[in-house]
Structure 1
Amino acid sequence: MDQPAPPQPIAANLQPLLRELKAHGFKVRFEQPPKIGVYGLFEARSRTLWVHPITFELGISRQTLLHEAVHAAQSCPQGNLTRLGIAAPVSPLIAQEINSILFSNYHVKDRVLEQEAFSLQGQTNAPSILVKLLRQRCKT
């Protein structure tokens, strides 16, 4: 079955990441995730990333894709999410916002993984970092 195309073209600097995800057996779906009320979702069992089409209208599709790609990299090599060990620098204001989101929306056992994803999604070099991590961690 063909997957829906993204509602808008994907930025050129994200194309290598999309290719790398596909090369390692991940599927990227630009459609409503199977969980209500989220902009993106990663399901380790099916190796599927969802990016809600509304994220393009909201201007957060890049961050959403990068966030879910972090989880894909975290899922390698064995399918269960583990920390990447990346310390991405964020401003104190952004760190405070991330912490607010984590404490409001995530179970305590998931917070470390989510914090890593939120921190990395805002880095300008996140696509190249993720390509490198996928190559290191997701040997296929």
Structure 2
Amino acid sequence: MRFPPRFSWRCPAGSPQGARRMDGVATITGTLLVLAPLLAAGLGPGRTWLRQASAATALRPQDAALTPSQELQLFRQLDQGDQRSRPRMTSIPGPGGGVAITYRREPGETPLTATQLRRLVANPPSYEKERVVITALLQALRRLGVTLVLGPPRKSGALAEWEPKTAVLRIRPDAANRGSRSFARMLNHEAIHVAQSCSSGRLRSMPKPLGLPRPASAVLDRQLSHRVYASASPTERIVEQEAYANHNQLDLSLQLLRRHCRPGAGQTGSSESGKRAGSGPGRLPLSHLSIPAPAGPPPR
């Protein structure tokens, strides 16, 4: 069975370009809590700090290599995305008054109660765990021989894609504008695809299923009904189901990379359990990373 050469993460629903996000709006008047979807502004270009990739990498002119020296700017972009996605409380004018709380809610996540929303406004999340995972994954993928690239994915509507034939993991330049939580899930998703390739014997092999849980859900069905997967084979659909159903488990792909890939081997994979992909961010070894899975089904 033949695979297409790319495996994609689709941007959460909105415009055909996948450039809008779903937020939640909570209106609180006394004990009344009403939740409704809110379409917010699209992603910005996020390209000004990109350095063009070396010609030696044989990448497209619009691609830019994501090198370790550029990660500081990447995290600044994530900071800005986190600020924009923080819950905000505003007063409702007119008779009756009340308070409206606007916050980002991923599709499939359970709406928050008034108490939970007020707590979020008072104590916004720090996304420290997501930052640890992002740093660890970027380091681990480079050690395996993956070329990290910031550039428009070949598949229209995708936010990121794994291209096994060239060992390129391509991320849309504005992906970091969505904030740390979305970026960590996206990178975790694509790293699962890298492990699926390694399990086929080589880093540059077409991914094959790992046997990960694939619980049925309406969110997963909607995700895989997108045009990005219109021509997907049955096996490719299983590969994507595994990635979407498990990318909320932010430490999972690190475990899978250690188990199935051999660091520094470039194109060769390994199925031996216990293989380590080196150390994580700073002095934190990957073998000690334990990040609890965020609640809720996978985002679209």
Shorter-normalised TM-score: what interval?
0.7 to 0.9
Mapped pair 1:111 → 2:270: no
Aligned counterpart in structure 2 of residue 138 of structure 1, from 249, 261, 267: 261
- Which amino acid in the other structure matches residue 112 of structure 1? I
1:1-140 mapped onto 2 (5 Å cutoff): 1=54, 3-4=65-66, 5=70, 8-9=74-75, 11-59=131-179, 60-76=182-198, 77-78=201-202, 79-87=205-213, 95-105=217-227, 106=229, 107-109=232-234, 110-123=236-249, 126=250, 128-139=251-262, 140=265
Displacement of 1:31 after TM fit? 2.5
Larger relative contact order (CA 8 Å, sep ≥ 6): 1
Residue by residue over 1:91-113, the C-alpha shift from the partner in whole angstroms, topping out at 9 and shown as x without a partner, is x7xx2111112133322422111
- Which amino acid in the other structure matches residue 83 of structure 1? P
Aligned 8 A contact 1:51 1:61 in 2: no
Cα RMSD (Å)? 2.3
Within 1, Cα distance between the matches of 2:213 and 2:153? 28
Displacement of 1:56 after TM fit? 1.8
Partner in structure 1 of residue 49 of structure 2? none
Q: Which has the higher strand share?
A: 2
Q: Note the residue ranges of structure 1 that are not aligned, 5 or more in a row.
A: none
Aligned 8 A contact 2:214 2:241 in 1: no
Displacement of 1:73 after TM fit? 0.8
Within 2, Cα distance between the matches of 1:129 and 1:62? 12
Within 1, Cα distance between the matches of 2:148 and 2:214? 24
Q: Note the residue ranges of structure 2 that are not aligned, 5 or more in a row.
A: 1-53, 55-63, 79-130, 266-300
Q: Which has the higher helix share?
A: 1
Displacement of 1:75 after TM fit? 0.6
- Which amino acid in the other structure matches residue 259 of structure 2? Q
Displacement of 1:65 after TM fit? 1.3
